[in-house]
Amino acid sequence: MVIGESGLGKSTLVDSLFLTSLYAERDILSSVNRIKRTVSVTQSTVEIEEKGVKLKLTVVDTPGFGDSINNGDSWSPIVSYIDEQYEAYLRDESGLNRRNIIDNRVHCCLYFVNPVGHGLKPMDIAVMKCLHDKVNIVPVIAKADTLTKKEVATLKQRILREIQENQIQIYQFPEADEEEDDEEFIAVNKELKSSVPFAVVGSNTVYEVNGKKVRGRIYPWGVVDIENPMHCDFTMLRNMLIRTHMQDLKDVTQDTHYENFRAKKLASGEPIEAVENSRSSSEVDTRDALLLEKEAELKRMQEMIAKMQASMKQQQDVS
């Protein structure tokens, strides 16, 4: 899931991360329509291939976030969406068909911070507090090419300090085991920890620099290569999401966030069947039709057994 104000480059970064065009057909709203619009949640599915392994990812965007004049409690649709995915998973897990559970839970939330905001805004703090016990939050400084290296370092320190002061729990990288993990993973894990929040730049435009094609942004003084670790943290963020820590993000979601939700749900005493289903009405109608068909088949079998028993009893009486 990606969360952040409009204009911070969320769409561009997502396209850059997964080398796709999820937002090619999106309409750009005018400022008047954008102010009137409420926060919505949209899903897009993308298939990527990494080292011969095909992955199917669902990207959840939150257009309209932070666009209104009054943003009080505007993040309710986001919280509701995350809870609905947990409810659907709990319902499937509590059912009979556990082998084919579809996991649509949000395993990672990229929270975009405005680079010119001098730290976290009150809305950022409020939203993170609502989400930090539900999802793995990974803070991201958007459009890092608008800042100097010194400004990026200062902003990172300030964001981390404000996160700590407000007792916000962000995603914690696992501690590397020096005995079991290889040296490369230990070094990468240490570098990722020191890079949070990730200062990123997104671009899908290819330029040729010194005979080499790079994806980046061109300026009068040169080209920003988004895949160059000296320019931004884009490569580290992509490797973390897809290569090194994808499984850990899923494990933390399962073992911590989902178990907390499940414990609260069971403690409330509310029946799981009474939870509003997040599936579409067509799926519900299909399931109900199958149940009715099975009930009718069972009824026919019971009638056949009753007739057979009556026939056997008649034969016994005759004999």
**d(C-alpha 56, C-alpha 48), whole Å:** 7
CB under 8 A, 24+ apart: contacts of 271-279: 272/90, 272/91, 272/94, 273/91, 275/87, 275/90, 275/91, 276/84, 276/87, 277/88, 277/91, 278/84, 278/85, 278/87, 278/88, 279/88
CATH number among 3.40.50.300, 3.40.50.10300, 3.40.50.1100, 3.30.390.50, domain 2-279: 3.40.50.300
Give the whole-angstrom CA distance, residue 314 versus residue 319: 9
Beta bridge partners of 50: 53
pTM to 2 decimal places: 0.78
Confidence of residue 23 (pLDDT cuts 50, 70, 90): low
Residue 109's pLDDT band, with cuts at 50, 70 and 90, is: very high
Q: What is d(CA 76, CA 62) in angstroms, rounded to the nearest whole number?
A: 11
Report residue 287's pLDDT band, with 50, 70 and 90 as the boundaries. Answer: low
Six-digit token string for 294: 């099975």
Q: Is the pLDDT of residue 48 over 80?
A: no
Name the token pair of 300: 């026919």
pLDDT band, very low/low/confident/very high, at 111 (cuts 50, 70, 90): very high
Asked if 16 and 215 touch (Cβ cutoff 8 Å), the reply is: yes
What is the amino acid identity at position 234? F
**pLDDT tens readout for residues 205-226:** 888 888 888 888 988 888 899 9
Euclidean distance between CA atoms 109 and 134, whole angstroms: 10
How confident is the model at residue 197, as a pLDDT? 93
Structure tokens at 286: 């299909």
